[in-house]
Amino acid sequence: MLNKISEKQMHRVRWLLTISWLLLIVMFVYDPISPWLTEPHNTLSPFREDPNICIKLQGVCLEAKPHSIAAQIFWSMIVPLSLIILLVFGHELWRRICPLSFVSQLPRALKIQRKQQRVDPHTGKVSYRLAKVPKNSWLARNYLYLQFGLLYLGLCTRILFINTGGWLLALFLLLTIGLAILVGYLYEGKTWCNYFCPMAPVQKIYAEPRGLLTSTAHENPHKTITQSMCRVIDADGKEQSACVACQTPCIDIDAERTYWDGIKKPDRKLIYYGYIGLVFSFYFYYYLYAGNWDYYFSGAWTHEENLLSTLFNPGFYIFDTPIPIPKLVAVPLTLGFFTWASYWLGLKLEKAYKVYLRNKNRDISPEIIQHQLFTFCTFFVFNLIFLWGGFWWGSSTSTLNLMPLSVQFLFSIFIVFVSTLWLYRTWGRSPELYFRECLTIRLRKQLSKLDLDITQFLEGKSLEKLNSNEVYVLAKILPSFTHEKRIQAYKGVLKESLEEGHVNSASSLEILQQMRMELDISDRDHQEILTELGIENPSLFDPNQQRTREDFARLQGFRNRIKGLVKRRHRRTAKGLGKELLQVVRHKKSMADVFTEERQAIKSLSLEYSVTPAEKAEILAELEKTTELTNQDKK
């Protein structure tokens, strides 16, 4: 859906949102307008605070004073809106509009990223590539723990220092922007989003395996650019993949694949189970600190004066009694305790659920059990935030609270409806269903290549409109779909799956098992096809060339950009280039000889896509042999 919106349009949206965010940051330190709107005696303003209402903080009524509403806009509108976007539209919209993601890409756009020297161990040739987080590094293995820890520290910092806006919140956000730019300079791709951003665990909880209206990348027949994949606009104005495989698997390419790939990892349990406790404790602490709920629901925390002076005041006020634990200690203690308790309770409930299923003799895979628990966690915490936490109406002067009660009621219905619909759509997902759908698109493609008469079986539908079950049924009932053609189709599916890193030679036997059953292909046939593919293309099974979906996207993006250079060169030189290409086809010239003016462009693209000399040589040699060059010569 939203992944089809052009990059030009999204680029304008990103600039607009980033500029708006910067203006809001300015409002934190200089806001000459909104204090007039919140003047207690300004009876014409709907934003004023009633001076006759006593909001108590540890037994003392807070004085109603004029204040800026910038922090209130940020915390009570922008932040919760991002959660709704993630659940409804998924990461494919959020990643494309997020200002932090945008600014982290500025060093790439300005071509000032850090470069690393690489020496080929075989040839000794020196090359330069943009820096990338090593796949086996501590950060690559533990980034979710780091991001969740940063989220915890961020919420503690918010309560202690920056809730009320002002120069501290402005400085905090500017520092975050600076760190995102710095990471964008140090590492290629969306390293900030994938490895450092504290919002990433939240994004994972709400946007995986997919949002309510998210497109399905694995069923997209045009897989060059999917979902929120990094993309650029070439000289012809066309979108091209800019993926550099900075993380594998990558949520920007296929969120659901990322979800199933890591569902059994312990860090996922921490963020799903622990996040509930973190959210609950964030709200509950306002009660523990003030001694009542009025302090939170009035929104007084968005403009409390002298927040820094309260750091060593009593951090708890329970039953009208201050507890002599400094607020500076009480906040991290409360959030940490409830996060740990929620994680511990989640593990206990998971164990109890498994025992319940076993007693009921229900044979469910560990992945499905984990998926059901994670799905329930997301549903529960989303409603906890909006129905109990009252993010949107957390202040008596919030936008929603100014609306009629009917509008507020409708918003609550909307939250329940959206989350329930998401629950219904997500609960039945499984890794088996996902892989079946992945293979369906490839089988559909192979069927279209074969000379089969299928129109009489489609009942007016096109082959592309058939769902996964209908495609397999079609494959079974086609009289002309002989065993030989089944083998041919299966070979094509297996080859594409290996090329794109969807499977490897070891996992292909298990992942494609259901397809073999549907097509009546034996395991022996599978092994014979693997042998044939190994002879035809040995690189598919080269252990030194471990293929991934991300590497496929990276090299495909580089390949398409090189083809673009060929086409532009052809348009500029017309017949002159045609003669040169003819010499390439006849092997009298190499591709590099033709690109006398484009050599620097190729070098720049190699650096941009982190293409090794060996990969570049292979792609250029491949392009020399393509029929596209011959066709251009004929034209």
* Three-state secondary structure readout of 511-557: HCHHHHHHHCCCHHHHHHHHHHHHHHCHHHHCCCCCCCHHHHHHHHH
**SS3 sequence, 341-409?**
HHHHHHHHHHHHHHHHHHHCCCCCCHHHHHHHHHHHHHHHHHHHHHHHCCCCCCCCCCCHHHCCHHHHH
Q: How far, in Å, CA of 276 to CA of 280, rounded?
A: 6
Q: Could you read off the pLDDT of 335-349 as tens digits, one per residue?
A: 999 999 999 999 999
Judged on CB neighbours under 10 Å (0-12, 13-18, 19+), 366 is exposed
Selection from 167, 158, 161 nearest residue 31 by Cα: 167
Q: What is the DSSP secondary-structure string of 621-635?
A: HHHHH-HHHHHHHH-
Q: How far, in Å, CA of 217 to CA of 196, rounded?
A: 25
Instruction: For tokens 């969120």, name the residue.
Output: 255
Model-wide pTM > 0.75: yes
Max CA-CA distance within the chain? 91
Selection from 526, 519, 521 nearest residue 473 by Cα: 519
The strand pairing partners of 56, in sequence order, are 61
Q: How far, in Å, CA of 249 to CA of 438, rounded?
A: 15
Q: How far, in Å, CA of 431 to CA of 403, rounded?
A: 44
Q: Which residues neighbour 149 within 8 Å (Cβ) at sequence distance 6 or greater?
A: none
Residue 126, SS3 per DSSP: strand
Q: Are 359 and 411 in contact (CB under 8 A)?
A: no
Q: Are 566 and 598 in contact (CB under 8 A)?
A: no
> Taking each helix axis from N to C terminus, what angle separates 613-625 and 549-573, rounded to the nearest 10 degrees?
50
Going 475 to 479 to 484 to 485, the CA torsion angle's sign is negative
Instruction: For tokens 């740990």, name the residue.
Output: 340
Q: Are 393 and 400 in contact (CB under 8 A)?
A: yes
Q: What is the DSSP letter of 310?
A: G
Q: How far, in Å, CA of 184 to CA of 104, rounded?
A: 5
Q: How far, in Å, CA of 467 to CA of 464, rounded?
A: 8
Enter the tokens of residue 554.
């990276």
Instruction: For tokens 């499977």, name the residue.
Output: 503
Alpha-helix residue ranges (DSSP H) falling in 208-326? 255-261, 266-290, 294-297
Enter the tokens of residue 543.
């252990």
* Residues found in the chain: 635
- Say what the pLDDT of residue 566 is: 74
Run of H or E including 27: helix 7-29
- Say what the pLDDT of residue 326 is: 98
- Say what the pLDDT of residue 377 is: 98
Q: Could you read off the pLDDT of 416-425 as tens digits, one per residue?
A: 999 999 999 9
Tell me which long-range contacts 565-568 makes (C-beta under 8 A, separation of at least 24): 565/595, 565/598, 565/601, 565/602, 566/623, 566/628, 566/629, 566/632, 567/236, 568/235, 568/236
Q: Are 357 and 364 in contact (CB under 8 A)?
A: yes
Q: How far, in Å, CA of 346 to CA of 260, rounded?
A: 19
Going 609 to 614 to 617 to 621, the CA torsion angle's sign is negative
Selection from 69, 72, 75 nearest residue 45 by Cα: 69
Which residue ranges of the chain lie beneath pLDDT 70? 1, 120-123, 221-223, 389-403, 543-546, 569-598, 626-635
For the chain, domain boundaries:
2-213, 444-541, 549-634
> Residue 123, Cα to own-chain centre: how many angstroms?
38
Question: Distance of CA 413 to CAs 398, 416, 421, Å?
Answer: 19, 5, 12
- Number of alpha carbons in the 13 Å side-chain half-sphere of residue 277: 24
Peptide bond preceding 314: is omega within 30 degrees of 0, i.e. cis? no
Return the number of other C-beta atoms located less than 10 Å from residue 568's C-beta. 16
Q: Are 303 and 164 in contact (CB under 8 A)?
A: yes
State in Å, rounded, how far the first CA of the chain is from the last one.
37
Instruction: For tokens 């991300």, name the residue.
Output: 550
Enter the tokens of residue 197.
């951003």
Residue 1, SS3 per DSSP: coil
Q: Are 35 and 66 in contact (CB under 8 A)?
A: yes
- Say what the pLDDT of residue 453 is: 76
The strand pairing partners of 326, in sequence order, are 314
Q: Are 88 and 95 in contact (CB under 8 A)?
A: no
Encoded amino acid at 564, one letter: G
- Say what the pLDDT of residue 1 is: 61
Q: How far, in Å, CA of 213 to CA of 172, rounded?
A: 33
